[in-house]
Structure 1
Amino acid sequence: MRAIGFTSNGGPEVLEVIDAPEPAPGPGQVLIRVAYAGVNFAEIQHRRGEFGEPDGHGGYDIPGLEVSGTVVALGPGAHGPAVGERVAAYLPAFGGYAELAVAEAEFVRTVGELPLAQAAGVPCVYPTAYGVLTDAGRLRAGETVLVHAAAGGVGSAAARIARALGAGLVLGTVRSPGKAEAAQTLGYDAVFARDGFTEAVLEHTAGRGADLVLDPVGGAVRRASLNVLAPFGRVVVYGDLARDPDWTADAWDLWKNNRAVVGYNIGDVARRSPASIGAHLASALSALASGALAHEPPAVVPPAGIAGLHRRFEAGATRGKSVLDIGELATA
């Protein structure tokens, strides 16, 4: 089969189209002929070596955390979608930038009438958005939610899901004015520049602040987020886009000001609570297919454009969701 992989860590230039052996589904697994693969920041981290050196077949690692396509085979004991069904799947061990991918059956769900290009951007992003809002964030109806990186993949999903779950006010921050314009179309009540957001949030909430802050950025943004929390407010940490040195929250400050910092990592959830990811994935696909959650078409990128897309991710220049057209790998 054809795939996109790398044999050494580095910049986007290490990505190349390769011929790789076809995988076979093991016990409890599903083999999928991939139509589209979602592209996420974790794949940039994978390529750069933040998860270790390449150790796949022939020395290659194949990125890709989420795919859509058609089931072509089931491993022993696998239950769920049947051969021939259109599905989306989360791949915690990567492997999505390929014509065929193996997924654990518990991370595979049918997509209904949802277009496959749209479905490819769901399995990692939407369970994360549901997870940070409900599992980690404990969102309650009427609360105010602040979403950093508001125009990104998770941010775009979280804004719509928060509204569907009954949030009273949904605010966002973005890195640049161009992203503010994009974020305004996602249903936010207001979107602010990330620099100096504390004053804007407090002014917009009449000084009360946010009940829940979703933070994939880190660094100064994370520290400042504590200062916009309402009583018993929570900051949910689920990324580190700022690449800032680690910081230590002051337990005294959290105690005296009724604040909380909570973590969410989908990889750990996949290992220790896989059923929750499958449940969130099913909920998202159903809501998107029915129209209960609005969705925008993703940007579809050909294999030749993957290095450029990775560069835009690193520069913080992407908006919404991007997916890779795996069907074009055959001619790449």
Structure 2
Amino acid sequence: MRAVGFDVNGGPEVLRPVELPVPEPGPGRVLIRVAYAGVNFGEVQHRLGDFGPADGIEVPGLEISGEVAELGAGVTGLAPGDPVAAYLPDAGGYAEYAVAPAAFVFPLDGISLRDGGGAALALTTAWGVLTGAARLTAGDTVLIHAAAGGVGSVAAQLARALGAASVHGTVSSAAKARYAERFGYDAVHLRDGFAAHVSDLDVVLDPIGGPTRQASLTVLAPFGRLAVYGDAARRPDLNLPVLPFWKNNRSLTGYDIADLARRAPDRVRSHALSALSLLASGTIRLDISAELPLTSAAQAHETLQSGLNVGKTLLTVG
């Protein structure tokens, strides 16, 4: 089968076309003929070696859509030909075929394969960080960093659907601010100096890290929650004293889908199905801003790593 992979960590140029055997679905797993693969920052980190050095040819790709090709032993509720989206905890989505645990394969009832290609990771993460980590409740005030990204653009809509009283965002440029404003934000601020424009927030979502994370703590309301779900700035980890959390009634919480997939797969599935139901109903929408052939995966990575992306980028596979 055709795939794009790498065997040495490095820049986007290490991604190259490869030919690999079609994988076989083991017990409890599903083989999917891939139509679309979403592009995510986690795949940039995979390529760079943030998750460890390359071990042979590694194929990135954490979310896909396509049709069920074959069921492993013990899998029920699906049939060959079913349109599905899938989260791939072990990667492998930049290929004509990929294998996913059955728990993370989601029927696309009323959702196109195109939208499904960018949904399984982005929507699940947005729902999980809002409801699981941040414990958003109706009436909360919310700030979302990286407001124009694949997760940020749907997180704003989900926050509204969950009853948030106000939703603010931050971005890195004026062009991104204009883009993000289409997704239900009350205001979108430039990230540099954002703390001068917001205060007393119940929830802050941060996939950035570094100084942005540090400054986010200062804008929390009493019992406000800073929910961390990424490290796009790739800065050294913060060393935070505990006493200010006590003295200022603050909370720091986190969401990592890979850890949740290992320890609470049923919760990942619940988060995904809840978010997908809102996509199917039209309550929220995905904005697919770029659609590239599989062979242009390096170009997609270069745009994402340079911070020039908005919305969701898909690779067209089959």
- Fold match, TM over 0.5? yes
TM bin (shorter chain): over 0.9
- The equivalent of 2:226 in structure 1 is 235
Q: SS state of the match for residue 253, structure 2?
A: strand
Q: Give me the whole-angstrom Cα distance separating, in 2, the residues matched to 1:80 and 1:299.
A: 33
Q: Give me the whole-angstrom Cα distance separating, in 2, the residues matched to 1:296 and 1:222.
A: 26
Q: SS state of the match for residue 185, structure 1?
A: helix
Contact (CA 8 Å) 2:94, 2:294: kept in 1 or not? Answer: no
- Displacement of 1:281 in angstroms is 1.4
Q: How many residues align?
A: 318
- The equivalent of 1:166 in structure 2 is 163
Comparing 288-297 with 172-181, greater Cα deviation is found at 288-297
1:219 paired with 2:172, answer no
1:194 paired with 2:191, answer yes
- The equivalent of 1:80 in structure 2 is 77
Contact (CA 8 Å) 2:288, 2:314: kept in 1 or not? Answer: no
- The equivalent of 1:305 in structure 2 is 296
1:119 paired with 2:116, answer yes
Q: SS state of the match for residue 128, structure 1?
A: helix
Amino acid at match of 2:45: Q
Match for residue 150 of structure 2 among 141, 147, 153:
153
Q: Give me the whole-angstrom Cα distance separating, in 2, the residues matched to 1:136 and 1:269.
A: 11
1:120-140 deviation digits (Å, cap 9, x = unpaired): 111111111111101110101
Match for residue 244 of structure 1 among 217, 228, 235:
235
Task: Show structure 2 runs of 5+ residues with no match.
Answer: none
Q: SS state of the match for residue 233, structure 1?
A: strand
Task: Show structure 1 runs of 5+ residues with no match.
Answer: 203-208, 328-332
Q: SS state of the match for residue 21, structure 2?
A: coil
- The equivalent of 1:206 in structure 2 is none
- Alignment map for 1:1-332 (pairs within 5 Å): 1-55=1-55, 59-202=56-199, 209-327=200-318
Amino acid at match of 2:239: T
- Displacement of 1:53 in angstroms is 2.1
Cα RMSD between the aligned structures?
1.0
1:71-122 deviation digits (Å, cap 9, x = unpaired): 0110000123211100000001100000000000000011112111111111
Contact (CA 8 Å) 1:37, 1:120: kept in 2 or not? Answer: yes
- Displacement of 1:298 in angstroms is 4.3
Q: Give me the whole-angstrom Cα distance separating, in 2, the residues matched to 1:106 and 1:19.
A: 28
Amino acid at match of 2:229: Y
Contact (CA 8 Å) 1:111, 1:286: kept in 2 or not? Answer: no
Q: SS state of the match for residue 50, structure 1?
A: coil
Contact (CA 8 Å) 1:219, 1:245: kept in 2 or not? Answer: yes
Q: Give me the whole-angstrom Cα distance separating, in 2, the residues matched to 1:164 and 1:18.
A: 42
1:267-325 deviation digits (Å, cap 9, x = unpaired): 00000011111112112222112212233344211123221111111111000000100
Q: SS state of the match for residue 69, structure 2?
A: strand
Comparing 79-88 with 315-324, greater Cα deviation is found at 79-88
- Displacement of 1:238 in angstroms is 0.9
Contact (CA 8 Å) 1:117, 1:300: kept in 2 or not? Answer: no
- The equivalent of 1:205 in structure 2 is none
Q: Percent identity?
A: 56
Q: SS state of the match for residue 143, structure 2?
A: strand
Contact (CA 8 Å) 1:74, 1:83: kept in 2 or not? Answer: yes
Q: Give me the whole-angstrom Cα distance separating, in 1, the residues matched to 2:282 and 2:179.
A: 20
Q: Give me the whole-angstrom Cα distance separating, in 2, the residues matched to 1:294 and 1:304.
A: 27
Q: Give me the whole-angstrom Cα distance separating, in 2, the residues matched to 1:297 and 1:258.
A: 39
Amino acid at match of 2:259: D
Contact (CA 8 Å) 2:38, 2:117: kept in 1 or not? Answer: yes
